[in-house]
Amino acid sequence: MLHGSQISLLYLCATTSSGGIYMNESFTVEEIAELIRDEGYKALVTIDEDEDAFISSASDGAEWDVVMHGLSPFFGSISFRYLLFSETDPIEECNKFNNDYRFLKLYRVVDEEAVKGKFYVRAEMDCDFAGGVSKLLVSATIRRWIALLPIAEDAIYGKLSSGLESENQ
């Protein structure tokens, strides 16, 4: 019978040896872009004048970004972001969505535009690499993001599909 420390050592060997699953505590912007491309989507890397790294992509007509967090070139987390625009105050829709869904969150953005009757919502989902994650987990997070975007759009634009249940609730 294996004990806790023996299991931990066995797991560490299995994840770092050839053929095992390697756990990363950081990824480069190009590694994340490649994982997005591997899922069949475009991934345009941009590094701004402050050396902040972003990836622009799109799925089903929705253009979204991945924001890299941490110190370049090895980033410790990422945030997926997408903007939705609404003619009416979307606070109730955001609250309902955030109550129903666990991973992706909707935030009503309040600024001077809202005073003029225009609102926007930021859809956001994070992926933290602390403690080490596999490329498989990051790829699964990308797929989850893409699957939840149409549901977020439906919530804001009032086209909620009855009976549509997510395994990610």
Q: Is the confidence at residue 22, as pLDDT, over 80?
A: yes
Q: What percent of the chain has pLDDT over 90?
A: 66
Name the residue range of residue 105's domain: 4-157
- Residues pairing with 79 in the sheet: 67, 126
Domain count, the chain: 1
Q: Which amino acid is at 92?
A: E
b/e code 54-92 from CB counts within 10 Å (16+ = b): ebebbbeebebbbbbeeeeeebebbebbbebebeeebee
Q: How confident is the model at residue 2 (pLDDT cuts 50, 70, 90)?
A: very low
pTM more than 0.85: no
pLDDT digits (tens, 9 = 90+) for 103-130: 999 999 876 655 566 788 999 999 999 9
The whole-number average pLDDT for the span 48-68 is: 95
CATH of the domain at 67: 3.30.1460
166 domain-assigned: no
- Transcribe 49-111 into DSSP letters: TT--EEEEEEETTEEEEEEEESSTTSBSEEEEEEEEEESS--HHHHHHHHHH-SS-EEEEEPS
Assigned token pair, 41? 């989507």
Q: Is the confidence at residue 56, as pLDDT, over 50?
A: yes
The pLDDT, as a whole number, for residue 60 is 93
Q: Is the confidence at residue 41, as pLDDT, over 90?
A: yes
169 domain-assigned: no
27 domain-assigned: yes
How many residues are present in the chain?
A: 169
44 domain-assigned: yes
95 domain-assigned: yes
pLDDT digits (tens, 9 = 90+) for 137-147: 999 999 999 99
Helix axes 135-157, 29-38, angle to 10 degrees: 70
167 domain-assigned: no
CA atoms within 13 A on the CB side of 24: 16
The whole-number average pLDDT for the span 10-16 is: 44
Whether 54 and 46 have beta carbons less than 8 Å apart is answered as yes
164 domain-assigned: no
Neighbours of 146 (CB within 10 A): 20
87 domain-assigned: yes
